[in-house]
Structure 1
Amino acid sequence: MAMKIKIGNKKCIGDGCPPFIIAEAGINHNGDIDIAKKMIEVAKECGADAIKFQTFKADEFIANPDETYTYYSQGKKVVESMFEMFKRYEFPKKQWKEIIAHCKSKNIVFLTTPQNASDLDLILGLTNLSIIKVGADDLTNLILLKYYASKRIPMIISAGMAYASEIEDAVNTIRNVGNDSIIVLHCVSSYPADAEEINLKKMGAIKDSFGVTIGFSDHSIGITASVGAVASGATVIEKHFTLDKNLKGPDHWFSADPQELKELVKSIRFIEKALGSPELIPTTKETDMRKICRRSLVAVRNLKKGLRLTETDIAYKRPGTGIAPKFAPYILGRRLKTNINKNNLILLEHLD
């Protein structure tokens, strides 16, 4: 059964909690500590709840240093060594310490995706992580998931590229260690993801099938999919962002810029309020509007005391402060105890 997961002293994730918005810095800091710190400041200014990085050592997760990676940057196709690319984006322990401290000083939750057990151990040696995030690339790395789950820290796992059986294996692996604080993010591992690939309905299937808290990791361009995800029940939104789409690197061009991130947060907070309550009653303002807009029984002409009312004696006009039209059958045939002028309300006290 899905549950609420506490994040620090003031935040929670789950049904009934405000959507938790993660500004995904990823590797968009370009390996520059100053850019990373600026991204922290911008994420906070835009209203994000957390900023997430990626912690890795290239030689621990890339086996072939000659393997190439193709991406688009600054409007051009780039082909380069995957190892060299990720090596550029590594931060040493000292700089992770600075990043964590800067997050604390700006009062924004620090998150990261540790690529390996050694990366998690490094970060846990520097701070108490609120959540461990696992990317879609490691959804099927059950040995790694088991180790992460053993830390008894809430886990977010992305379910990109996944079959239902793979999500089930991942969830069961985490639960079997005794960790039931699991958030599964529906994710499409295309960069960017097109509308017809997004399939937001998968979130409901994930929640119903595995009894987990759900969210959405948005790799589409723009903010529409994220807002739609919240309307569809997502409790976590993760969105790549950059300081400038024109910076060098594989992810900048499709990431949200600061203005888009700010608009994303604003739109999610709006839809959060707009979802409201399922209770079928008028709002406070509607209660007042009912009196103005609804119709009541009125005299169709000047009516004399003693008249027995017929359908030709009444009309249905605003305001709605009198007898509603649906009660007309119970009024017809009764006698007036007083004169009623044309267009005046016919009230119960006017009837015998």
Structure 2
Amino acid sequence: MKTYIIAEAGVNHNGDVNLAKKLVDIAVKAEANAVKFQTWITENVMSKTAPKAEYQIVNTGSQESQFEMEKKLELTFDEFIELKNYCDENRIEFLSTPFDFESADFLINSLKLSTIKIPSGEITNAPLLLYIAKHHKNIILSTGMATVAEIQQALGVIAFGLINDKTSPSIEAFESAYISEQGQQLLKERVRLLHCTTEYPAPIDEINLLAMKSMSKVFGLPVGYSDHTEGIEISIAAVALGATIIEKHITYDKNAEGPDHAASIEPLELNKMVESIRNVEKSIGNGIKIPSKSELKNREIARKSLVASEAIKSGEYFSDANLAIKRPGSGMSPFYYWELQNQKATRDFNIDEEIN
């Protein structure tokens, strides 16, 4: 099964729809499966006094508030319609992350997306999770900053929404939906999880890729990796460990102005990442340890056989003194070395002649 590769354009368009299209072009050229943006209305998402994250201050300064920064990066719904059409024309899936109800409604009912990506910061936003789940879309849920208990709570809300019965929402109803057979089945049909370390860039020693395996075992759902590290090697390693999805921030220039460019990869890196992931996929195989087709022709050349270390006459006993182990491996296997001891030769053997 091929890894689903999401080129995360995010806000690296800097509020310019033409730059957003340039990011789509980069994703298309690299043969990513999807390009993802972020959809929000700033007034619905944050207060005017909301502080910037540390990495945002480092990359954009402290002169403007987070509200002012986000307002500059916001695209209109009309521009997203234009972007969705552009993606359709270029045969790449358009994805976007909603951060508020109005944006979720737009992505679901106007753009009619089949998959909704829920970001790590919204994993505790139960009303938004419920609203999305009730529309029976496929869901990719990022889990940065979350504990196992918080992920389970979020999945309980989603299961409740997918079941979509007439019960009033409550913590008890969410728990009941999560443990129900119907809820578990619907989660398996609709939900994929992403492991993530929510820092930009994320420190290598805090990535904990093995958490993917733990999450897969605990929740029984496909797990991928949303990569905020510098470079591409961690995404490649995640695929080798079984990631079903890779999400990676992309940019046209790491030095461009904006909060996320510095922690993103440029076009050549994206090309290399996609190529490397596809090679890793080919290398994984089926897990059955048998010789490959290309190996078979090398067995006789690389292995060894029992040969005469000196001339042996018919009737003479084989022994340590007259046996050697040498290439090629076209004769008797060295596994029979001890069985051959003290047996008589049935014919003459020359030096280096294979014993048979």
The answer, yes or no, to whether TM exceeds 0.5 is yes
Q: 1:93 to 1:210 in 2, by over 3 A?
A: same
Match of 1:250 in 2: 259
* Contact 1:242-1:252 within 8 A present in 2 as well: yes
**1: CA distance, partners of 2:57 / 2:230:** 15
User: Aligned to 1:153, which of 118, 137, 147?
Assistant: 137
Q: 1:259 to 1:68 in 2, by over 3 A?
A: same
User: Aligned to 1:67, which of 50, 65, 70?
Assistant: 50
Match of 1:272 in 2: 281
Match of 1:85 in 2: 69
**1: CA distance, partners of 2:123 / 2:315:** 82
* Contact 1:68-1:80 within 8 A present in 2 as well: no
RMSD: 1.8
Moved more, 29-38 or 222-231: 222-231
**2: CA distance, partners of 1:93 / 1:68:** 26
In the alignment, residue 69 of structure 1 is paired with which amino acid? K
Match of 1:306 in 2: 315
* Contact 2:319-2:342 within 8 A present in 1 as well: yes
Match of 2:128 in 1: 144
Match of 2:168 in 1: none
* Contact 1:73-1:249 within 8 A present in 2 as well: no
Whose helix fraction is larger, Structure 1's or Structure 2's? 2
Match of 1:206 in 2: 215
Secondary structure, aligned partner of 1:30: coil
Match of 2:87 in 1: 103
Q: Deviations over 1:59-105 (max 9, x none)?
A: 1111x224342545896634412222222222222211111111111
Gaps of 5+ in 2: 164-185
Whose strand fraction is larger, Structure 1's or Structure 2's? 1
Q: Does 1:235 align with 2:219?
A: no
Structure 1 stretches of 4+ moved >3 Å: 70-79, 125-128
Identity %: 38
In the alignment, residue 296 of structure 2 is paired with which amino acid? T
Match of 2:354 in 1: 345
Q: 1:34 to 1:191 in 2, by over 3 A?
A: same
**2: CA distance, partners of 1:138 / 1:75:** 23
What is the TM-score normalised by the length of structure 1? 0.89
**1: CA distance, partners of 2:156 / 2:59:** 43
Q: Does 1:184 align with 2:232?
A: no
Moved more, 97-106 or 284-293: 284-293
**1: CA distance, partners of 2:274 / 2:259:** 24
Please state how far the C-alpha of 1:336 moved relative to its aligned partner: 2.7
Matches for 1:211-222 after TM superposition, within 5 Å? 211-222=220-231
In the alignment, residue 316 of structure 1 is paired with which amino acid? I
What is the TM-score normalised by the length of structure 2? 0.88
**1: CA distance, partners of 2:66 / 2:154:** 27
